Structure 1
Amino acid sequence: MKKNIVLAMTTAAVIAALTGCGSSKSTETTAAATTAAETTTADATTAAESKEADKTEAAAAAEGSLKALENVDPNGHLGKVLAAGKLTMGTSPDFAPWEFKDVSSGTTEYVGADVELAKYIAEKLGVELEIKPMEFSAIQQAVTSGNIDMGISGFAYTDERAEAMGLSERYNVNTKKGQGLLVKKELASQYNTAESFAGKKVATQNATLQNKLATEQLPSDVQIQLVTNITDGVMMLTTGKVDALAVSGDNGESLAKTYDDIAMADFMFDYSSEGNVIAVKKGDDDLLNAINEVIVEVNEKGLYEQWREEAVALAEKLGIETN
């Protein structure tokens, strides 16, 4: 009898032990599964946080540390640009190396030093750039009517433009070659005063600084011939249809290297301003302040000179004449 009791107790103990072992394994399995789930959740959370951090860092990098982006008025022009995620630029893409077309890929791409500047501004604002090509003379109207956010097309500062539009700080300020006229090479030294052009035909691009200077500083009997772009003016000069073409000193010297039979006249217009400006609608001070911050950085880093050199090289590669 005792043997039976002992045997029963022993059997029960064994069963209990075995049951305990099974329970331990089950607990361990459940714990492991819970730990794995927690780890997966933690990893997913970390990945999401990392991705969000990357977005924040990317946005911060894109916007830089522009003071103009602090406390932006959502109802102001800058606020609307940021909300739309897009900055529109008006330009006349017929003025290499500043702005021109690259169609080598089969599609039209707008390139040039001014285009790179516009891209840099958009990048600093954290928005996309939209380029709207148009005639040079149409840009001011597009700016003042609000059809574009800014006009960038080699604009020189003039009092008239400053009255009609908001003008930025100057960029491309390295030019020291003034404003003058291209003439036939053999006659360059003969055109040494404004009076030398009396009765002559002078080509100028419409609505440009050169047009203003030619109209104001050359004799009243000079016949001003308006051209759509500089290339047309050069053709008119080389074929004898006009006696001179009003250009900036930089452009004139560049063109004289391309065309052996033309050169800058000895006479230069009385003009002391240097560099170019960006135009925005009058009163859009918030956008203008942001643009000015970027221009200061561009000037300090010498970025525009780099973009201009790259644009000249690209234009030469594409067989496009530079101004």
Structure 2
Amino acid sequence: MKKAIILFMTTILFAGILAACGKSESGNAGDNKTLVMATSADYAPFEYIESDKSDEIIGFDVDLANAIAGKLGYEVEVKDMDFGGLIQSLKSGQADFVLAGMTPTEKRKKNVDFSDIYYTAQHMVISKKESGIATIEDLEGKTVGVQLGSIQEGKAEEINKTVAIKVENRNRIPELIQELKAGRFDAIIIEDTVAKGYLEKEADLTNFTMSDDPEEAGSAIAFPKDSDLTEKFNKELQNMKENGELQELIVKWFGGEN
């Protein structure tokens, strides 16, 4: 009798273990219908927090994620982290995709897969009006701030090959603005769409736009290598481009066409 009870309990325990193993924390398998989106919520209007109103992460990328995932039958859980850790979050399985105004560079493509481009912007150099900085050449001998792990960090390193500058990085965009205003940076490089909001608030800042490599322009959605979500998201993204939904989001968050 005891042997029968032990055998029965062992069978139940084994079945429970198998059931647990069958569950997935990712939206790619199992019955879980929530996808984890990793982002860096310091990049208005792409993703940011209006701290005086709520702790919710809002923005263009969040709306885009919810729109595409909703069409595929998923809900989205947004996780905020430093930009430099976003690629690793995909590689480690912490996130199903990254939406963070990320440019699909060749270096990043070695570690993750990307969707088609969903938005294109340019790099902008911002400095104080009295700095006299109006061209790349004017940056010589200056300290230039960039966001850690960003495409702008790479651009600054490229500049340094022909125009001697000191490149320093910070984790968050507001930190770059603060360092610039405090005089610890002579200039910073950020995306023009993001820069727009700061330029409207800070009257003592000026800017100029850098030309960009067309092969490394634009923002795309990042996925783990060989994720089945890449093709699914691309299909819905293309539908949104064709039916005007993507343009509606662009007008909502950027106030114009792109």
| TM-score higher than 0.5 | yes
The answer to whether residue 94 in structure 2 is matched with residue 155 in structure 1 is: no
Pairing of 1:100-111 with structure 2 (within 5 A): 100-103=48-51, 108-111=55-58
Match of 2:237, as an amino acid? I
The answer to whether residue 246 in structure 2 is matched with residue 297 in structure 1 is: no
Query: What secondary structure, in the 3-state scheme, does the structure 2 residue paired with 1:260 have?
Result: coil
Pick aligned residue for 2:35 from 87, 103, 112: 87
Pairing of 1:178-197 with structure 2 (within 5 A): 178-187=122-131, 190-193=133-136, 195-197=137-139
The answer to whether residue 214 in structure 2 is matched with residue 265 in structure 1 is: no
Percent of aligned pairs with the same amino acid: 27
Partner of 2:141: 199
**Displacement, 1:101?**
1.8
The answer to whether residue 89 in structure 2 is matched with residue 142 in structure 1 is: yes
The answer to whether residue 199 in structure 2 is matched with residue 256 in structure 1 is: yes
The answer to whether residue 57 in structure 2 is matched with residue 115 in structure 1 is: no
**Displacement, 1:130?**
1.2
Partner of 1:41: none
Match of 1:298, as an amino acid? M
Match of 2:85, as an amino acid? A
Larger Rg: 1
Partner of 1:281: 224
Match of 2:118, as an amino acid? Y
CA contact (8 A) 1:197 1:222 kept: yes
Q: Distance in 2 between matches of 1:128 and 1:253?
A: 31
CA contact (8 A) 2:44 2:197 kept: no
Task: Encode CA deviations 1:255-281: one digit per residue, 9 max, x unaligned.
Answer: 322211111136x25432432100001
Partner of 1:230: 173
Partner of 2:158: 216
Q: Distance in 2 between matches of 1:96 and 1:253?
A: 9
CA contact (8 A) 1:145 1:281 kept: no
**Displacement, 1:240?**
1.4
Partner of 1:243: 186
**Displacement, 1:237?**
1.4
Query: What secondary structure, in the 3-state scheme, does the structure 2 residue paired with 1:299 have?
Result: helix
**Displacement, 1:250?**
2.8
Q: Distance in 2 between matches of 1:128 and 1:153?
A: 18
Which range is displaced more, 255-264 or 198-207? 255-264
Q: Distance in 2 between matches of 1:197 and 1:86?
A: 46
More helix by share: 1
Match of 2:165, as an amino acid? V
Query: What secondary structure, in the 3-state scheme, does the structure 1 residue paired with 2:118 have?
Result: coil
Instruction: Give the number of aligned pairs.
Output: 230
Q: Distance in 2 between matches of 1:120 and 1:229?
A: 26
Q: Taking structure 1 as reference, are residues 120 and 299 closer, same or farther at Cα in structure 2, changes over 3 Å only?
A: same
**Displacement, 1:109?**
1.4
Q: Distance in 2 between matches of 1:200 and 1:100?
A: 30
Match of 2:38, as an amino acid? G
Q: What stretches of structure 1 of length at least 5 have no aligned partner?
A: 1-74, 314-323
Q: Distance in 2 between matches of 1:191 and 1:306?
A: 34
Q: Distance in 2 between matches of 1:122 and 1:256?
A: 33
Query: Which TM-score applies when normalising by structure 2?
Result: 0.79
Q: Distance in 2 between matches of 1:147 and 1:265?
A: 38
**Displacement, 1:238?**
2.1
Task: Encode CA deviations 1:200-244: one digit per residue, 9 max, x unaligned.
Answer: 100000000000110122347421121121122112212211110
CA contact (8 A) 1:172 1:304 kept: no
Pairing of 1:44-83 with structure 2 (within 5 A): 79-80=28-29, 83=31
